[in-house]
Amino acid sequence: MSNTTADPILETDFMKEMVRQMRALDTFGTRDGQSDEALLSQFVITPEKRKEIPLVADMDQATLARVNVFYNAVAVLIEKECGRMATVMLSLNGEGFGRVIISVGKLLVVDKTLRDVHRFGFDSLSKMKTEADKLLSVALNIVGDHPDVAGM
């Protein structure tokens, strides 16, 4: 479904990839009628909403899917920019603690410790894109500094 709002952030490559990833997860088409903005609103957790989520809780499958979508979208953008396959490796325990790594060849370009994943989200779509841009920038700098390792 095409985007019906005029929010320019939804036209960025990152947000388009996020929508593509989310729609790919919807194998039964239950969200076909949702706008792109409504689909991505699942990633927005305002500070007020975050306060309602307990500090200690088990992670559910929907949250895990959102974490995967976010880092997979970052990996796709890394691939597009550097021309080499980027692979996401996510390891979390049942309480939502763990690590995400994105590798290009034998090179680790993203290595992030995750905590409280059951509260995963961003204050706004803009903040989500900013975080993705930071990860992408660092990853591309690392690939640029070590192209031989990235090519292995």
Tokens in use for 7? Answer: 């929010």
- Residue 73, pLDDT above cutoff 50: yes
In this prediction, residue 121 carries a pLDDT of 94
pLDDT in tens, 9-51: 999 999 999 999 999 988 888 888 899 999 999 999 998 998 8
Query: d(Cα 93, Cα 98) in Å, to the nearest integer?
Result: 6
- Residue 119, pLDDT above cutoff 80: yes
Report residue 3's pLDDT band, with 50, 70 and 90 as the boundaries: very low
CA distances from residue 4 to 10, 20, 37, 134, 147 in whole angstroms, order as listed: 10, 16, 8, 28, 41
- Residue 1, pLDDT above cutoff 60: no
47 burial via Cβ count (<10 Å: 0-12, 13-18, 19+):
exposed
In this prediction, residue 32 carries a pLDDT of 85
Tokens in use for 107? Answer: 């090179």
In this prediction, residue 105 carries a pLDDT of 94
Rounded to the nearest integer, the mean pLDDT of the chain is 91
CB count in 10 Å sphere of residue 90? 17
DSSP of the chain: ----S--GGGGSHHHHHHHHHHHHH-TT-TTTTS-HHHHHGGGB--HHHHHHS-SS-PPPHHHHHHHHHHHHHHHHHHHHHHSS-EEEEEEE-TTS-EEEEEEETTEEEEEEEE--GGG--BSSHHHHHHHHHHHHHHHHHHHHH-HHHHT-
In this prediction, residue 56 carries a pLDDT of 79
Tokens in use for 38? Answer: 């409504």
- Residue 5, pLDDT above cutoff 70: no
Average confidence (pLDDT) over 134-141:
98
In this prediction, residue 2 carries a pLDDT of 47
Domain residue ranges in the chain = 8-150
**Architecture of 8-150 per CATH?**
Orthogonal Bundle (1.10)
